[in-house]
Structures are given as C-alpha cells and as structure tokens.
Amino acid sequence: MTYAKTTGFTADQQYLARMAKALAHPARVAIIELLASKHTCISGNIAAELPLSRTTVSQHLQELKALDLIRGEIDGLTVCYCLNTELLQRVHQQFTAFFIGATSGAACGPDDACAC
Amino acid sequence: MTYAKTTGFTADQQYLARMAKALAHPARVAIIELLASKHTCISGNIAAELPLSRTTVSQHLQELKALDLIRGEIDGLTVCYCLNTELLQRVHQQFTAFFIGATSGAACGPDDACAC
DNA sequence: ATATTATGTCGTATATTTACGACATACTTC
DNA sequence: GAAGTATGTCGTAAATATACGACATAATAT
C-alpha cells in the first residue's frame, strides 16, 4: 500500500497541492504575514510572537524554507529570514489561475440534471 | 499536550489555513478541476477518472463538502456534485489578499541588516 | 421480491504532521 | 578559554491524514 499517492495527477496539481499544504497551518500563515509586516527580515525571535515553542516554529520555518518560500541568511549569531517574494508572486498566479478555472466554468443551473 | 493548536492565531489565519488544507492534496485539486470542467455536475464516477479507489475519493469528497466548497444533491440512484462557486470566489479573494500582503510588503533589500 | 447499481460508512493499517524537551553547534563576549 | 546566546537537530509522543476492503443502505430494474 502506498500512501500520499501522487501517480496519476498532473505536475500542476501536485505543485498546487504542495504549495497549499505550506499554507495549511495557521502558524505558517502567521509566519509569512509576520515576515511581510516587518520592515527588516526578523530572525528566529519569530517564536516570541507565536503561541508555539521555539522548536515548533523552527520546524515550520524549515518547511517553508524547503519549498523556497522563505530564505534564511546567517548573520553572526542570528538568522535572518525573508520572504521569497518572486516565488510568492508566481504561486499567487497559479492559485489565481486555479480559482478562475474553478469559478468561471459552467456552473450547475436549472437546466442541468440536478439543481445544486 | 495539545495538537493542532489554534489558540493565539487570528480567525483569518485559521480560516485561510483550513481552506489551504482543502487544496493540500492533488486529489482534491483534481476533483475541483473535474467538477469545473464538466458541463453538468457529475456524480461519483469521479472515482473512475482518478487513480484512487472509490472509497478514498468519497472521503475526499466529504472533506470538500464539510467545508461547503462542493455540494451534493441526491438524484435517484446517483449523487450530483457541484462546486460552490460563490464560496470559491470568496476564498479566492482571501488568498489574493494574503498574497498581495505578502508580496507587496517591504522586501529585504541591500539597506537592511541582511541581504537575502 | 430479487438482483443490480450507486453511494456512503466503518474498521483498520500505515504515513505524515504537529508539538516540544533535550541536546548539539556555532558565534559572540568577557 | 569560559560563559552566554541564538539557532538547528534529534528523539519521541500524540494527532491527523491517506488509502482501501468490507459492509450497509437506498433506489432502480427485472
């Protein structure tokens, strides 16, 4: 038995799902919002602003970093995290394309077999 | 120890994360794309178009239905699923607002403490 | 009524996610 | 070099997600 089955789905579907999963936890949403709101890219004291332990926050940071959504630069003793805005823009476009396709398609109407 | 901790995050962050989680599996992305592409709202033969068992597809359908992203109407022996386009549009707006905020914020530049 | 078909639910097994304490590492400061 | 600080990694535990066979249910067809 294989879990997290991926064969049979398009690369686009898998990529969108991977990016969606990155946003599928409020902590990671909050981290991205935090990084966006700070003028300078703040370091791991991100944990101080979240209701989670430093370890857990570090784990979430690594997940975002693995997808290249954020980047970290070691600056002496502290680590400076920043958003990868270029990638975020591309991801935004992909989400938009998906939602446009999902909402502009022929919706169920009274003429159809069912009436949702 | 509490898992899936939510306290301390805003309602918006939690809602966005919940919707992102709905798209965090290629099967659910594929299901939404399928429903959008079909002229009429197709029924559970969705499973025939996906590389998953009917049981697993039904499970994914229930998850989408629980978030009201899709709706199902019983029509005799078959069940007719449709997209909730109004909700999808609202979710699209929320994702857009999030991405705009994340990408339009002050990015890390050469003037900052670090240079990501 | 019985068979067939479409669908959902239950049970279960495995994988993954989430969370955090404890430890290791590396840099700064004294 | 020793002490302190910021950070990452490891180990581990609990929760959740994923996947599917087996069964239940309900409508249709014969």
Distance, in Å, from the CA atom of A116 to the CA atom of A111, rounded to the nearest integer, reads 11
Do the domain assignments include residue A106? Answer: no
pLDDT surpassing 60 at residue A111: no
Confidence of residue A8 (pLDDT cuts 50, 70, 90): confident
Do the domain assignments include residue A3? Answer: no
Q: Which of residues 28-57 of A touch B (CB under 8 A)?
A: 28-30, 32-33, 35-37, 39-41, 50-52
Gap from B46 CA to C10 C1', in Å?
A: 22
pLDDT surpassing 50 at residue A91: yes
Do the domain assignments include residue A15? Answer: yes
Do the domain assignments include residue B51? Answer: yes
How many CA atoms, within 13 angstroms, populate the side-chain half-sphere of residue A72? 17
Contact A116 B36 (CB under 8 A): no
- How many other C-beta atoms can be found within 10 angstroms of the C-beta atom of residue B39? 9
Name residues whose C-beta falls within 8 Å of residue B105's C-beta, 6 or more positions apart in sequence: A35, A36, A37, A83
CA distances (Å), origin B55, targets A13, A62, B31: 21, 34, 14
Q: Are strands A70-75 and B78-83 parallel, antiparallel or unpaired?
A: unpaired
* Range in A92-101, B16-25, B43-52, B83-92 the model is least confident about: B43-52
Helix, strand, coil abundance in chain B, percent, nearest 5: 55, 10, 35
Do the domain assignments include residue A56? Answer: yes
Contact B114 A7 (CB under 8 A): no
Distance, in Å, from the CA atom of A59 to the CA atom of B9, rounded to the nearest integer, reads 17
pLDDT surpassing 60 at residue A110: no
Work out the mean pLDDT of chain A and round it to a whole number: 88
Task: Please tell me the predicted confidence (pLDDT) of residue B70.
Answer: 95
Q: What is the mean pLDDT of residues B75-94?
A: 94
Q: Which domain holds residue B17?
A: 11-102
pLDDT surpassing 50 at residue A63: yes
Do the domain assignments include residue A6? Answer: no
Do the domain assignments include residue B56? Answer: yes
Q: Residue B89's domain is classified under what CATH number?
A: 1.10.10.10
Do the domain assignments include residue A62? Answer: yes
Q: What angle do CA B20, B21, B23 make, to 5 degrees?
A: 70
Task: Domain count for chain A, please give it.
Answer: 1
**Closest listed residue to residue A95, CA positions, set B93, B7, B39:** B93
Contact A6 B20 (CB under 8 A): no
Residues in chain B, how many? Answer: 116
